[in-house]
Structure 1
Amino acid sequence: MTEVSQNYVGGEWVSSETGETFDVQNPADPDETVASYQRSSAVDAAEAVAAAVDASDEWRRTPGPERGRVLRRAGTALADRKDEITEMLVAEEGKARPEAAGEVQRAIDIFHYFAGKAADLGGTVKGASSRDTTLYTREEPVGVAALITPWNYPIAIPAWKLAPALAAGNAVVLKPATLAPGVVLEIAAALDEAGLPAGACNVVTGPGSEVGSEFIRNDGTDAVSFTGSSRVGETVYEQATDAGKRVQTELGGKNPTLVTDSADPAEAAEIVATGAFGTTGQSCTACSRAVVHESVHDEFVEELVARAESIDVGPGLDHEMGPQVSAAELESTLEYVDIAQSEGATLASGGGRPDGDAVADGHFVEPTVFTDVDNDDTLACEEVFGPVIAVIEVDNFDEGLAVANDVEYGLSASVVTDDHTEAKRFVDEAEAGVVKVNEKTTGLELHVPFGGFKRSSSETWREQGDAGLEFYTIEKTVYDNY
């Protein structure tokens, strides 16, 4: 019998008032039900917010070092169950095991990182004009933070929202994506084991239209952090700002890698392939456009196709690239393949379902390379969210830089070059929140800011590192005339 997981509200594991549940299927074998979860309602979400409000004062008054010790114990609890959580992530989201294990480790590292940061929160002392006045600032929690997280990094993204929110002294309500909620409930269990006060963290599963919307509009929440598609995120931003809440959104990307004439084609192809096909292309920072100088174009394409065709596709526990997360995501990717061909792009590799018994039933797609793509083609403009790369040929560096910037997104961008002047120009002029030189577009350090430009972000607050803490804190200035 399939296990039915419960919500975590007010320090207790509880069922939804609806009495309904939903199943999560294994994307590598859709006939296999991994687990069942509560199909919660707005009523459940409101109860979670009330629990967070009730717990808020106790947690905010808890000294920073003590909050840090709770986060450290939670990180250690996750580490003790790393293998089990990794397999759960593979089963629900489909990632290849090494990618899933790396993501779980990232969550562990995030909790340990912010455990240390919690002790540093406090404020600064300033010089006052009066000899009788002490002038200083205090960093205080915003209140109750509502977190709405996606399925593509189902434990890392919740961790990098949740850990700084708790470190800063906020109570939290969290809605995980319905396609892969299990690992978030594992975080809740780790925090419970670590001694987090009841109600300081609450996790409610269910549809965004019910749970997420209630989190956003409920008067008890003070801040909203959302990661997901640009279309949904822009609606979330409007709703949250209309309600007078602090809000951050991290959204889609259409990330380029510019390959210059000084680049080694084989090295460039490896960088692009890793960025495009890693995590089955289901990353907001995935490389989806290779903008390539004409002098290295043909050799680059040959190397990229060879790399794409060498990738071992199959169930994530024992293959290099796993399935897409759902039938809908697979259908969307294949639709983009059809559109690209109808618009005149050349299919250089992949473009369909792979062959073989291991991939017969799951949501698998071949790593796909298109050439002869124009910069105004659909494939060059819209986020695919699958392992599909569009190769765009350019005549020179200036044209390549212009093409790289000529999209409505600006999340991540990279350049492959042996020319330091070109590298510096790219860093200066690339319209992206993350810019890399001779590296793939994917992969983030946890202690530096992350966020995008244009439609990739609300451009309000960054995530991760000290910037992540800033979103969850507010400064109070104190004049103490003793």
Structure 2
Amino acid sequence: MTVQTEVKTYGNFIDGKWISAASKKVGASFNPAHRDEIVGYVQSSTEEDVDKAVTAAHNAKEKWRKLSGSERGDFLYKIANCLESRLDDIAETLTREMGKTLPEARGETLRGIAILRYYAGEGMRKTGDVIPATDSKALMYTTRVPLGVVGIITPWNFPVAIPIWKIAPALIYGNTVVVKPAQEAAVTCAKIIECIEQAGLPAGVVNLVTGKGSIVGQRIIDHPGINGISFTGSNDTGKKVAIGAINRGVKYQLEMGGKNPIIVANDADIDEAVEATISGGLRSTGQKCTATSRVIVQNGIYEEFKKKLVERTKELKLGDGLKEGTWMGPCVNESQLNTVLSYIVKGKEEGAVLLLGGRKSEDTDLKNGYFVEPTIFEGVHSRMTIGQEEIFGPVLALIKVETPEEAIELANDVHYGLSASIFTKNIGNAFDFIDGIDAGLVRVNYETAGVELHAPFGGMKSSSFGGREQGTAAIEFYTSIKTVYVKP
């Protein structure tokens, strides 16, 4: 068992104060690479705690709304500066709590800093237009107003970037916030909130409530004082968010699953395509909504591609993400590990051919963590479970096709439509793919994973609903348009 000298307990952050939950209970957050190591303790909150947070956000919203965009932006700059000063601490906590490698954790934290500075600048952008009125003596224009109190529910796989890319636009456009992070990543989120506190935001503008989704998340969904909900997570929970929001008549935004394909055409640069497949599918242990899951390869290069993919994947080093040289860390918890292993079993049962991996790691140094080997199947058909359902783990399914047209058809043959990629040197193939693929994020000669912070992000079909996130598109969700007519 890992010996620890200090394990901090983090309170809820409500109305500018760190307080204990009404239940007086806390839960431990564990390191998935060393399952006996406790990263920290967080509150096991109740509906009462959510009510307190919503009341605080409601009481703060008018004063916050009346600040200028520039004034709100100054606060975001201060939060970014605090995160930057604590970069190593926050990145290390992210790795210890969620499992991804330290370089990935540092990159994600730097991205969070960049997002804050981007939206700080948005405070100086226009929020409306002047429209010619039919009455020559009248002035007609549009402006935007905040929703009010926004509930934010975030997952564990990007515990810095996703909370920030929701909180930052919510704040810059004049909303106050109640945020509920995933339990597995709540310590990391608490450290972000510490930076928000240090930046001096008025009490109640940002509130943190930790706890079970079935209690805290559901109360956010149902609370009559919450005017909008932004959610990233599973499709099943997303449906609950949608139903609750529709019943109350409030705006909601859902970012959910993906079953993302990469198409490798006969004329592709095979080495580049192999590297993109591995990076897109196996980094962060495949625990990304944009991760490559289906690898659709044209038959002319299939055997060569397969050989290089397997050989290159064998070189990847599993281990503790804090250790230098580790390429892939553990699954986030035992439940996720078991889910991934169950899909591997299902793949074999349905006739897919296991080329590599497929087991919990048997390495002695990794036995106390939730490590699964990088896994590659071939002979996968679209109707197989591993050809249809999101696995959220390091599992690649190889599918052989005759033509690029067949590849696009198969790529679209799922309920999801988040991200998709093609590798080709043929401009005709590229544009046919761009035109024909049902995905919100389309990439040519890039991996499926990876999002630019200033570009709209979201998917089609069952992957997303309720407006795009990030970039200038975020204003569409976090505000409503007000059309104004003025006649002297």
**TM-score, normalised to structure 2's length?**
0.97
Cross-structure match for 1:155: 160
Deviations 1:450-474 (CA, angstroms, capped at 9, x unpaired): 111111112x211000111221011
Q: Segments of 4+ in structure 1 off by > 4 A? A: none
Query: In structure 2, the residue corresponding to 1:351 is in which secondary structure?
Result: coil
The reply to whether residue 269 of structure 1 matches residue 270 of structure 2 is no
The CA deviation at 1:374 is 1.1
Secondary structure of 2:464 counterpart: coil
Kept in 2: contact 1:172–1:200 (CA 8 A): yes
Query: Is 1:133–1:480's contact at 8 Å kept on the other side of the alignment?
Result: yes
Distance 1:392 1:272 in 2: 13
The residue matched to 2:184 in structure 1 has which SS?
A: coil
Counterpart selection for 1:109 from 114, 133, 144: 114
Q: Who is 2:365 aligned against?
A: 358
Instruction: Provide the secondary structure at the position in 2 that maps to 1:279.
Output: helix
For residues 63-74 of structure 1, the aligned pairs below 5 Å read 63-74=68-79
Letter in 2 for 1:463: E
Shift of 1:132: 2.5
* 2:39 and 2:187 in contact (8 A); partners too: no
Conserved 8 A contact 2:41-2:187: no
Residue aligned with 1:25, SS: strand
Deviations 1:165-212 (A, max 9, x none): 000000000000001111211221112211211101001000111111
1:388-429 superposed Cα distances (whole Å, 9 cap, x missing partner): 000001111111110000001000000011110000010011
Kept in 1: contact 2:341–2:358 (CA 8 A): yes
Deviations along 1:430-454, whole A, 9 cap, x unmatched? 0001000010000100011111111
CA distance in 1: counterparts of 2:122 and 2:314, whole angstroms: 44
Aligned residue type for 1:470: E
Contact 2:265 2:422 in 1 (8 A): yes
CA contact (8 A) 2:29 2:187 kept: no
Name 1:305's counterpart in structure 2: 310
The equivalences for 1:253-264 within 5 A come to 253-264=258-269
For residues 167-182 of structure 1, the aligned pairs below 5 Å read 167-182=172-187
- CA contact under 8 A between 1:315 and 1:358: conserved in structure 2? no
Q: Which residue matches 2:206?
A: 201
Of stretches 86-95 and 133-142 in structure 1, the one that deviates more from structure 2 is: 133-142
Q: 1:358 Cα deviation (Å)?
A: 2.5
> Does residue 1:400 correspond to 2:403, yes or no?
no
Query: In 1, distance between residues paired with 2:101 and 2:329?
Result: 5
Give distance in 2, aligned partners of 1:112 and 1:357.
44
Aligned to 1:334: 341
Deviations 1:48-82 (A, max 9, x none): 00100000000000111000000011011100000
Question: Structure 1 counterpart of 2:485, which letter?
Answer: Y
Letter of the structure 1 residue corresponding to residue 394 of structure 2 = P
Deviations along 1:257-309, one digit per CA (max 9) or x if unpaired, are 01111112222111111111011100000000000111111111111111211
* Stretch deviating more after TM superposition (336-345 or 167-176): 336-345
Quick check: 1:64–1:121 contact (8 Å CA) kept in 2? no
The amino acid across from 2:456 in the alignment is P
SS for the counterpart of 1:389 is: strand
Residues 1:479 and 2:485 are matched in the alignment: yes
Counterpart for residue 250 of structure 1: 255
Distance in 1 (CA, whole Å) between partners of 2:63 and 2:126 is: 17
Q: Percent identity?
A: 43
Q: 2:468 maps to which residue?
A: 462
Please tell me the root mean square deviation across aligned C-alpha atoms, in Å: 1.0
Task: Give me the whole-angstrom Cα distance separating, in 2, the residues matched to 1:275 and 1:122.
Answer: 36
Of 295, 299, 304, the match for 1:290: 295
Q: In the alignment, residue 73 of structure 2 is paired with which amino acid?
A: G
Alignment check: 8 A CA contact 1:348 1:370 kept? yes
1:188 and 1:268 map into 2 onto residues whose CA distance is 39
Instruction: Write the deviation string for residues 126-159 of structure 1: whole angstroms up to 9, x where unpaired.
Output: 2222233221111111111000000000110000
**How many residues align structurally?**
481
User: Aligned partner of 2:135: which letter?
Assistant: S
Q: Does 1:183 align with 2:188?
A: yes
Partner of 1:129: 134
Which residue identity does 1:436 align to in structure 2? R
Partner residue, 2:352:
345
**AA matched with 1:259:** V
Does 109-118 or 227-236 show the bigger shift? Answer: 227-236
Q: Assess if the C-alpha contact under 8 Å between 1:308 and 1:367 holds in 2.
A: yes
For 1:140, the equivalent position in structure 2 comes to 145
Distance 1:144 1:428 in 2: 39
- Amino acid across the alignment from 2:194: A
- Mapping 1:13-32, distance limit 5 Å: 13-32=18-37
Matches within 5 A, 1:39-78: 39-78=44-83
Contact 1:121 1:139 in 2 (8 A): no
Question: Which of these residues, 438, 445, 455, is aligned with residue 445 of structure 2?
Answer: 438
User: Which SS does the other structure have where 1:130 is aligned?
Assistant: coil
Q: CA deviation at 1:36?
A: 0.5
Q: Distance in 2 between matches of 1:358 and 1:124?
A: 61
Q: Distance in 2 between matches of 1:331 and 1:245?
A: 36
Q: Secondary structure at the match of 2:9?
A: coil
Per-residue deviation, 1:121? 4.2
Q: Which amino acid in structure 1 is aligned with residue 483 of structure 2?
A: T
Give ranges in structure 2 of 5+ residues lacking alignment: 1-5
Please say if 1:235 is aligned against 2:201. no
Measure, in 1, the Cα distance between the counterparts of 2:130 and 2:203: 34
Contact 2:97/2:188 (8 A) holds in 1: no
Structure 1 position 278 matched with structure 2 position 280: no
The CA distance in 1 between the partners of 2:402 and 2:132, in whole Å, is 58
Match of residue 410, structure 1, among 417, 424, 440: 417
Structure 2 equivalent of residue 428 of structure 1 = 435
